[in-house]
Amino acid sequence: MDESGPTKSSDIDTSQAEGGRGRIVVLAIGGLLAFALLLKPAFQTPKEGDHYLYLASHFVRGDLSVDTLPDNYQDVVVWQGHKYLPLGPLPGVVLIPALPFTGLGPSRVISWVGYLLTLLNIWLFYRVLGLAGVRCEVRLWALLLFFAGTVYLSAIAAGNSWYFAHILTTALLLCAIYETLGRGRAWLVGLMLGLACTTRITALFALPFFVWLFWKKQKGWNVPEEFADSNQSAPDHSHARPVAASPGFAFNMGILLLELTGPLALLFVYNYLRFGNGLESGYGHAVLTYPPLAQALDHGLFSLEHVPKNLFMLFLQGPLPYPHQNAPVLEFPFMRPSQWGMGIFFTSPALLYAFRANFKHPLAQACLLGIISIMVPLITYYGIGWIQFGYRYALDFMPLLLMLAALGLPRPLTRTAKALILASVVINIWGAIFLVTWV
């Protein structure tokens, strides 16, 4: 008698049971986090950080300045007697419909809009993982890692303009990635990427990811089945067009760049109307009240001299003793995050699985290209994102890094992988609690 049949059936039953337990774990923890986050706007005292609501209110009056912004606010440019924001303008536009609700508290309004965008991001990343061939249990645990086990959780908890910009940028990048892996309409990819640039200009450096995938898809590549779970027959390409029917690479790139140029041109005009220079965002002229930042800017807005400190904070900075390093004895909880940031593998140890991805495949190659490209302006920039938990600028490339980590997760998931993901969740809850008290 052939014994392979019963063995395969047993394997499938085991896999399905593991998948069921995985769903229960993810839903339970996700429910607890959602409950905690929804309570947050009710008890948080509104503090500095509602820049974009001021910008939105000025936009509806046809004004590009933010002269009503309080004098104690950071990240403000004083230019020819007016106040301006160096931050990208799109979040201000997005928040215009929320202006009637500012009576509930500015930080609460930004938080609630951030929650709505996060729901969109969860759906988008779920679909992106499906198109990438990451399915079933691995897909759910990767979702948990992204939104509860990385500094994205702090972005939701903070409820201020800086973190809101990261949430919106994540949504736009995920839209562009979803379209690239799916139907591949270059005009829509370029538009989403361009809009992301009007939120955080670092999104422009994600372009190599899209160029590489369009090139490989034109050569006949499709997401390989090796990325799928063992009990899944094929990746989800129900929304993808056949490669043979797609336009040529040069045509796609022309359309993508044309659509990308539109939002960038608007950003150029926005800067020109404010500062008389389309390439001047205002960051080089921002009012700095913290001496170390002002001293760092003396070395240049972007400089190779900033690389060592940024790399240290990105990879090596660990937690600090609590209450402080000169205390005679440590007190509970014995450790605290550094307000200057912490290394991404300290805050999200499960991201180490990104190194297990198969870099022979174009999708993993594209992710790596995009991450390295985005890191260039981040590690040469004079600021490191203070005040923050973890390294919040990593959110600029987090969608790509999470895709790599998802591709590198073992199939089926091991206890070690689940433990690292859960540890990442616990660490980021700990960090989010500290961050809410800081901001």
> What is the pLDDT, as a whole number, of residue 10?
46
> What is the pLDDT, as a whole number, of residue 243?
41
Take residue 137 and report the two structure tokens written for it: 């249990």
Given a contact cutoff of 8 angstroms between Cβ atoms, the answer to whether 64 and 273 are in contact is yes
Among residues 423, 342, 355, 352, the alpha carbon closest in space to that of 151 is found at 342
Give the ranges where 88-160 is alpha helix by DSSP (H).
90-94, 106-131, 136-148, 152-158
Among residues 179, 191, 166, the alpha carbon closest in space to that of 114 is found at 166
Mean pLDDT check: name the lowest of 147-161, 264-278, 364-378.
147-161
DSSP three-state, residue 302: strand
Bridge partners of 335, per DSSP, are 321
> What is the pLDDT, as a whole number, of residue 74?
84
Please give the average per-residue pLDDT across 262-275, as a whole number. 97
Given a contact cutoff of 8 angstroms between Cβ atoms, the answer to whether 432 and 157 are in contact is yes
Rounded distance between C-alpha atoms, residue 224 and residue 132, angstroms: 8
Rounded distance between C-alpha atoms, residue 32 and residue 38, angstroms: 10
β-strands 320-321, 77-79 pairing:
unpaired
Take residue 325 and report the two structure tokens written for it: 């390093």
Tens digit of each residue's pLDDT (9 = 90 or more) over 364-396: 999 999 999 999 999 999 988 878 899 999 999
Query: Which residues are within 8 A (CB) of 138 and not within 5 positions of it... i.e. 6 or more apart?
Result: 229, 406, 409, 411, 412, 413
Handedness of CA 104, 105, 111, 117 (dihedral sign): positive
> What is the pLDDT, as a whole number, of residue 292?
83
Torsion angles phi and psi, residue 137, rounded to 5:
-65, -40
Single pTM value for the model: 0.88
Tens digit of each residue's pLDDT (9 = 90 or more) over 224-261: 554 544 334 344 544 444 444 457 889 999 999 999 99
Mean pLDDT check: name the lowest of 95-99, 134-138, 275-279, 405-409.
134-138
